[in-house]
Amino acid sequence: MPERSESDSRKLLKRLRDSLAEPGQGQERLDRITHLIADSMKTEVCSIYLFRDPETLELCATEGLRAESVHQTRLRLGEGLVGRVARFGLPVNSANAPQEPGFRFMPETGEEIYSSFLGVPIQRLGEKLGVLVVQSKAARQFLDDEVYALEVVAMVLAEMTELGAFVGEGDALRALHKQSVMLRGAVGQEGTAEGFVWLHEPRVVVTNPVADDPLTEIERIRSAVGELRVSVDDLLAAQSLDKEQKQVLEAYRMFAHSRGWLRRMEEDIQRGLSAEAAVEKEQSAARARLSQVPDAYLRDRLHDLDDLSNRLLRILTGQGSDTGAEMPQNAVLVARNIGPAELLDYGRKLRGVVLEEGSVGSHAAIVARALAIPLVINASGITTQALNGDAILVDGDQGIAHLRPEETVSAAFRDKMAMQAQAQQRYAGLRDKPALTLCGQTIALQMNAGLMADLPSLEGSGAEGVGLFRTELQFLVRNKMPKRQELADIYARVMQAANGRRVAFRTLDIGSDKVLPYMKPQDEPNPAMGWRAIRVGLDKPGVLRMQAQALIRAANGGPLSIMFPFICEYAEFKSARAHVLQQVERETALGHPVPSTLEIGAMLETPSLAYAPQAFFDEADFISIGGNDLKQFFFAADRENERVRRRYDTLNTSFLGFIENIVDRCAQSGTSLSFCGEDAGRPIEAICLAAMGLRVLSMRPASIGPVKTLLRRVDLRQLRSVIDAARAEGKESVRPAVIEWLANQTDEARQG
Ligand code: PEP
Ligand code: MG
């Protein structure tokens, strides 16, 4: 086979483009293309395999293999050489294919007589669409040049697939971004929403993958790269950047100025690609590498390159965040990841959020929770699959997103939403009624908050106060440490909005997953058990003191409740409390009024504190069980690790026994006790906690209605005997017994 030149490859691309411009159905087009490629590459065979579903490839067109095998031959991802190309997103080039490990003999295609095999992925920005293969009888290794040429062709095919050029009858020929897809991720924030996709970073659509005039295209790419370099240099020169931000931008700068990057794109253009397609080709290659790189640092750098490519595409096409597109009504934000400040900017305009990455404790999740927006995280592939304006259903309860749903799915989803809305109406009717159980016990229901925006929920939900105000959000959403006066103003507004109801302010709980953008990140092997929360507060007490001062000023002579996160031993509580008391003295000396009452409490989030000396329980004005952390340390099961976070039941008898122990210790010292982890907001968990002796539960505002409804229907003494019986029988969890008891009660109520 003769060596191919760059102009050969350009000719092939031109023929390809012309052929695509001719009218015809998807199948006809694919057939023409395989013929054309085989002819141009001088191989006996050219085949196109496309994905039918994420695990299956289907032979969709061929020149050289048996025509009957089209739409019949299927391969699983990873199966055979074609499956291998698809799995790894990298070419396979073999002079003796039948000898290759993993070769799969497909008699229906008549393949055995072809010795040489070259397969390249058809992929667009990491989205796998299929595999393009050429084969020939002569045993020969394809030249680098040929591999490259076929990759360029595959790139154009990918673009054309994206543009719907191969839409046809068969499932595998349906247009991309038209099919319904269900993406299974993880629960970030419960709730359901129906709306339309709003991409945080819109995809750039390349409509002209092939270009005739390489000189013009090279000029365009050089000028765009020049513009990009200036913009990155400007960023670097601008503002007061900290070391960390500088490092990131330096890496950006290095890529932007990389000769290799520009050279590769220029070579792509020489082969016949347009400037835009050249950027995408290199971006796709980088994304394919990204999925193979185990090293987190290198992965970050490849992400940088990805971001730069997006910027470059926006410069070239003029598309992007300033396309002038309007955010749709009922927008559902779709992003790879998003920072807390950006999410707050969108605020309540959003119906839901679906993230490709993210974690349960990420800042975005914290903000979504605070804004009560349903959030699905780890929805792998969402940013490549979704287009602006696509219909989407967000099932935050299950951690699922339905993109472009079928009507039947939408209808079922709407039914579910309508039922939830009806239930909310019923809950609203209970707003002013107490959570009074059948046995005459009143449980105080309070809400958790973290933003000013949460406070209106106090009225709406009927919460008796704020049992947990997480103060870290004000720190997380800024790019520098907030000033004391700023904090004092915010806290004062929170207290005013609470209108006399108690607000328990929790001092800064950072570290672990919550890293302040302006604090040096600690590279800790196990951050959840690392330098976090009060440990940071005591080691660097400046912030703790400043927060205490701000809270004292905000209280302005009124009542004040402060609690410390993650207290593990009495000594920590004593020191933290001493810091606050010193600040009261200092503020008084400065002429600020002393709080009328000052409660200082601790969050009980590790088993150790449950066994603290009696003096701790005597000294603490109140204790709040941080069930999320307590459970993770009790069971040694990471609350952010999907694989284990649901492994142990809160209604496990050991855990309930442990809670009982805490209730007893607080009762002995007369210390008031509440529970403010997520479990307090789950009705069955909540009634069991109440049966174990908890009298104050703090939860998300939306949970107050469901929890109150169930509490008002139960007799806690009876429930306690059900729990005790299950414990006596040696049951692992009391859940089955409790559910059965509840079901019998409902039956009795119906019959009665
Ligand atoms: C908890 O751990 O239960 C808690 C309420 O605190 P956070 O979820 O903020 O860690
Ligand atoms: Mg906690």
Question: Three-state SS for 623?
Answer: strand
Q: Which CATH number applies to 3-173?
A: 3.30.450.40
Phi, psi of 395 (to 5 degrees): -105, 85
Measure Cα distances from 229 to 265, 305, 311, 372 in Å: 16, 13, 11, 40
The fold of the 181-202+325-421 domain, in CATH, is: Glucose Oxidase; domain 1 (3.50.30)
User: Residue 21: beta bridge partners?
Assistant: none
- Torsion over CA of 487, 489, 495 and 497, rounded to 10 degrees? -120
Nearest CA to ligand 1 atom 4: 626
Among the listed residues 485, 539, 554, the one whose alpha carbon sits nearest the alpha carbon of residue 508: 539
Banded pLDDT at 53 (limits 50, 70, 90): confident
Atom of ligand 1 nearest to the CA of 565: 6
Q: Given this model, what pLDDT does residue 240 score?
A: 58
Catalytic residue among 46, 60, 177, 363: 363
Compute the distance from residue 190 Cα to the ligand 2 centre, in Å: 19
Mean pLDDT (the chain, rounded) = 88
User: How confident is the model over 214-262, as pLDDT tens digits?
Assistant: 999 999 999 999 998 988 888 777 655 666 667 777 877 888 888 888 9
pLDDT one-digit tens code per residue, 650-664: 999 999 999 999 999
Give pLDDT tens digits for 456-498: 888 888 999 999 999 988 887 777 899 999 999 999 999 999 9
pLDDT of residue 140: 86
Highest mean pLDDT (candidates 29-43, 61-75, 639-653, 715-729): 715-729
Q: Is the pLDDT of residue 513 over 50?
A: yes
**pLDDT beyond 50 at 3:** no
Residue whose CA is at the smallest distance from ligand 1 atom 8: 628
pLDDT mean over 676-705? 95
By the CB criterion, residues less than 5 angstroms from ion ligand 2 are 605, 626, 629
Tell me the average pLDDT across 370-378.
88
pLDDT digits (tens, 9 = 90+) for 327-371: 888 999 999 888 777 788 888 789 999 998 877 767 778 788 777
Q: Give the distance (Å) from ligand 1 centre to CA of residue 362.
A: 13
Tell me which of 375-379, 684-688, 722-726 is least confident.
375-379
The per-residue pLDDT for 17 is 81
Ligand 2 mean position, distance from CA 579 (Å): 21
**Percentage of the chain surpassing pLDDT 70?**
91
pLDDT value at position 2? 44
| DSSP H or E stretch at residue 547 | helix 541-555
Q: CATH topology for 429-751?
A: TIM Barrel (3.20.20)
- Whether 71 sits among the annotated catalytic residues: the reply is no
Which residue is catalytic, options 60, 568, 666, 676?
676
Atom of ligand 1 nearest to the CA of 366: 9
Q: Looking at the predicted structure, is the pLDDT value of residue 54 above 70?
A: yes
Of the pLDDT bands very low, low, confident and very high (cuts 50, 70, 90), residue 688 is: very high
Task: Quote the CA–CA distance of 603 and 675 in Å, as a whole number.
Answer: 9
What is the C-alpha separation between 367 and 362, in angstroms, rounded?
9
The residue nearest atom 10 of ligand 1, judged by CA position, is 629
Task: Delimit the domains of the chain by residue range.
Answer: 3-173, 181-202+325-421, 214-317, 429-751
Q: List the single range of 149-158, 229-238, 594-603 with lowest mean pLDDT.
A: 229-238
> Span 274-292, mean pLDDT?
82
More confident residue, 482 or 149: 482
Encoding tokens for residue 572?
């920590």
- Ligand 1 centre distance from Cα of residue 314 (Å): 41
The CATH number fitting domain 214-317, selected from 1.10.3720.10, 1.10.274.10, 2.60.40.1730, 3.40.50.300: 1.10.274.10
Per-residue pLDDT tens for 163-188? 666 666 555 555 566 778 899 999 88
Tokens 């999925």 correspond to what residue? Answer: 291
Residue 168 confidence (pLDDT)? 61
What phi and psi values does residue 456 have, to the nearest 5 degrees?
-55, -25
The answer to whether 568 is a known catalytic residue is no
How far apart are the CA of 473 and the centre of ligand 2, in A?
14
pLDDT at res. 55: 85
Kindly tell me if the per-residue pLDDT of 573 is higher than 90: yes
The b-or-e profile of 597-613 (16+ CB within 10 A means b, else e) is ebbbbbbbbbeebbebe
Question: Of 33-37, 419-423, 461-465, which gets the smallest average pLDDT?
Answer: 419-423
Q: Which amino acid is at 348?
A: R
Nearest protein CA to atom 1 of ligand 1, as residue? 626
- pLDDT exceeds cutoff 80 at 192: yes
* DSSP classification of residue 71: T
Cβ < 6 Å from ligand 1: which residues?
A: 468, 470, 509, 605, 626-629, 676-677
Euclidean distance between CA atoms 609 and 603, whole angstroms: 9
The beta-strand segments (E) located in 375-512 are 375-377, 391-395, 400-403, 435-436, 442-449, 466-470, 503-506
Amino acid 578 reads A
Query: Positive or negative CA dihedral for 648, 651, 657, 663?
Result: positive
**615 contacts: CB under 8 Å, gap ≥ 6:** 570
Mutate to test the pocket of ligand 1, among 448, 532, 603, 604 (most ligand atoms within 8 A of CB): 603
Average pLDDT over residues 37-51: 91
Tell me the range of 4-18, 382-396, 712-726 where mean pLDDT is highest.
Answer: 712-726
At residue 22, the pLDDT reads 79
Q: Which of 2-16, 27-41, 147-161, 300-314 has the lowest mean pLDDT?
A: 2-16
Inform me whether the pLDDT recorded for 565 exceeds 90.
yes
The ligand 1 atom at the shortest distance from the C-alpha of residue 627 is 3
Measured CA to CA, the distance from residue 396 to residue 379 in angstroms comes to: 11
Angle of CA points 170, 175, 181, to nearest 5°: 95
* pTM reported for the whole predicted model: 0.70
Q: Give the number of the ligand closest to the Cα of residue 624.
A: 1
Place 299 in a pLDDT band, splitting at 50, 70 and 90.
Answer: low
